[in-house]
Chains A and B, each alone.
Chain A
């Protein structure tokens, strides 16, 4: 009797926590579905009886949503491509080969990226001035490259650790089987490191998709990404909160998709079995 009671109480508590956590999400959905203006009334309405898709219709047919989406995708693809092309060979090399300066390279990766974070505002000013002089401002590709540059150290560290955990025997077997450095990467190392690489892609996606500060400084309005576009909905005197909420939902969908796709690969033990049982 007592244990049943306890389990009911615990379940109830857990439910409360879940509800508290999900409520903001629910509130955004409700806000997106309500007509403009009604959010300012003092009457709290938990279920939107006056639901309408006006905000979504405005976003999809009247706003610049698709231009921003295209811009975001360009930045994202540049970031992802640059990161992957540099990080995978680099972290593999850092994991497998001995060369002079390797340790100082690894620590400078860390220290330099910390300095950059520490001087954030000054760094931004410097970057802005630099790009202005080089006439590289207001370019989506340049923004993607900057994102990639800031991500490479972290992702390399992470992937290096992952490669460290893969037994060297596979590489050596591939070598003796006749594979070159890149064939070994392509056919043996990368397929085996899939879980690690998927985590890296997820990290890159989250950062490249949601970064706002740099994008808002460097991009002109025709080049806004989704993050900048979303914030630009906030007008000086009033914000159309229903549109803002609707766009946040659409904005989040790609990231949620990446997470769902990634989950398949994030199981451990993928390498089990090739090495002795």
Chain B
């Protein structure tokens, strides 16, 4: 069921277009992540939803009602800020109780609700403390408590975990996700961390330069990116993106990357109809490339030399070099070679992603 809809949402700051003609539907009870590099307009989008910015064009619709002229205080939303923005002169209790106090609830009811939320977040012992006496993770929980106690229809979260250390961040993102499912409150979550996005989201909306690139569940985003930006942004190490041109030779079709060519005869038909020109980008995930050593190296698509080896325990990240091109390869388990050694490289043709160099759009079907 639809909860929030953006219709041609646009925000300009002077000449700068922060959000450009955004159209997106957020469903009830889902956790949607707005993901993108810094400056891509994701935080501005969140602020537009909260009413902290006024749109230059377009509108935000919640439950079928146009929110454009609704004051932030009447929007039935809660927001968790990147800085937490806990009121420094109030105790944790007063911070959480603030939205209820504003609503002029009875003191007994306020106390009851704050206790409930504190219990849910395991912060009952911290309620008498001021924000400066709390650690980062504790402040984060108090900020979350203040958002929950309001019983909003929508949670807005602006990089709520980015100020925490790595270990706590991993722990809290799991907690946050299960909390969201437990409460069943529609959540719009902003982050620049793709791992955080992948691990938490029901759906991810990737943004770049104010434009929406793709909206998909995490696995589809990973396996089937619709633009070269999404392909390069999602995944660690990132997808190999190689500029190449489409050529036809003796009845077969090839992608020519200069240093090597790949046979794409199977895809010839779709490539010809979708590409705007012959300039294409070949995308290959590091795990979709095979390294061939010893005698087998001649059986691959081409021979390259080992550039770097990064053993990570479970897997080894190998970078090979062919001419001026570098290719990142993920090898599961063990890999032994010396730097500069010649190895064969075999690309899984079933898993290649081909994009139009000019438009950045995907050319081959998923």
Q: Which residues of A contact B (CB under 8 A)?
A: 167, 169-170, 172-180, 183, 187-188, 191-192, 194, 270-277
Contact A173–B73 (Cβ < 8 Å): no
Stretch at the interface among B83-91, B177-185, B249-257, B266-274: B83-91
Contact A270–B88 (Cβ < 8 Å): yes
Number of interface residues, chain B, beta carbon within 8 A: 36
Per CB-CB distance, the 5 closest pairs between chain A and chain B, nearest first, are A273-B132, A274-B88, A169-B85, A173-B85, A177-B99
| Contact residues, B88-139 vs A (CB, 8 A) | 88-89, 98-99, 101-103, 130-136, 139
| Contact residues, B66-89 vs A (CB, 8 A) | 72-75, 77-79, 81-89
Contact A176–B78 (Cβ < 8 Å): yes
- Does B150 sit at the interface, judged by CB under 8 A? yes
- Does B362 sit at the interface, judged by CB under 8 A? no
Contact B88–A173 (Cβ < 8 Å): no
Q: How far is the CA of A174 from the CA of B79 in the complex (A)?
A: 10
Contact B87–A176 (Cβ < 8 Å): no
- Chain B nearest Cβ from A212, distance in angstroms: 39
Contacts of A277 in B (CB 8 A): 132, 135-136, 139, 163
Contact B88–A276 (Cβ < 8 Å): no
- Does B146 sit at the interface, judged by CB under 8 A? yes
**Apart from the given pairs A169-B83, A173-B87, A273-B130, 20 other A-B contacts in the complex at a CB distance below 8 Å:** A172-B52, A173-B146, A176-B73, A176-B156, A177-B150, A178-B73, A178-B99, A179-B102, A180-B73, A183-B102, A188-B87, A191-B89, A192-B89, A270-B88, A270-B89, A274-B85, A274-B86, A274-B131, A275-B88, A276-B83
Contact B103–A178 (Cβ < 8 Å): yes
Contact A176-B84, Cβ < 8 Å, known A191-B89, A192-B89: no
Q: How many residue pairs bridge A and B at CB < 8 Å?
A: 97
Contact B81–A169 (Cβ < 8 Å): yes
Contact A176-B136, Cβ < 8 Å, known A273-B130, A274-B84: no
Contacts of A172 in B (CB 8 A): 50, 52, 72, 79, 81, 85
Contacts of B73 in A (CB 8 A): 175-180
Identify which of B51, B102, B139 gathers the most chain A CB atoms within 10 Å of its CB.
B102
Nearest A-chain residue to B75, judged by Cβ: A176
Q: How far is the CA of A177 from the CA of B103 in the complex (A)?
A: 9
Contact B85–A187 (Cβ < 8 Å): no
Q: How far is the CA of A188 from the CA of B156 in the complex (A)?
A: 21
Q: How far is the CA of A201 from the CA of B292 in the complex (A)?
A: 80
Contact B85–A275 (Cβ < 8 Å): yes
Contact A273-B98, Cβ < 8 Å, known A176-B50, A177-B146, A177-B150: no
Nearest A-chain residue to B135, judged by Cβ: A277
Nearest A-chain residue to B77, judged by Cβ: A176
Q: How far is the CA of A271 from the CA of B132 in the complex (A)?
A: 9
- Chain A nearest Cβ from B173, distance in angstroms: 18
21 A-B residue contacts at CB 8 Å?
A: A169-B81, A172-B85, A174-B98, A176-B50, A176-B77, A176-B156, A177-B146, A177-B150, A178-B73, A178-B99, A178-B102, A179-B98, A191-B87, A270-B89, A272-B132, A273-B88, A274-B85, A275-B83, A276-B139, A276-B163, A277-B163
Nearest A-chain residue to B82, judged by Cβ: A276
- Chain B nearest Cβ from A8, distance in angstroms: 43
Identify which of A170, A183, A276 gathers the most chain B CB atoms within 10 Å of its CB.
A276
Nearest B-chain residue to A272, judged by Cβ: B132
Contacts of B130 in A (CB 8 A): 273
Contact A274–B81 (Cβ < 8 Å): no
Contact A170-B84, Cβ < 8 Å, known A176-B50, A176-B72: no
- Chain A nearest Cβ from B323, distance in angstroms: 46
Contacts of B156 in A (CB 8 A): 176
| Contact residues, B30-89 vs A (CB, 8 A) | 50-52, 72-75, 77-79, 81-89
Contacts of A191 in B (CB 8 A): 87, 89
Q: How far is the CA of A272 from the CA of B86 in the complex (A)?
A: 10
Q: How far is the CA of A174 from the CA of B77 in the complex (A)?
A: 12
Q: How far is the CA of A192 from the CA of B88 in the complex (A)?
A: 7
Contacts of B135 in A (CB 8 A): 277
Identify which of A194, A272, A274 gathers the most chain B CB atoms within 10 Å of its CB.
A274
Contacts of B134 in A (CB 8 A): 273
Contacts of A192 in B (CB 8 A): 87-89
Contacts of A276 in B (CB 8 A): 82-84, 136, 139, 163
Identify which of A178, A270, A272, A276 gathers the most chain B CB atoms within 10 Å of its CB.
A178
Contacts of B81 in A (CB 8 A): 169, 172-173
Q: How far is the CA of A277 from the CA of B82 in the complex (A)?
A: 11
- Chain B nearest Cβ from A188, distance in angstroms: 6
Contacts of B79 in A (CB 8 A): 172-173, 176
Q: How far is the CA of A277 from the CA of B88 in the complex (A)?
A: 12
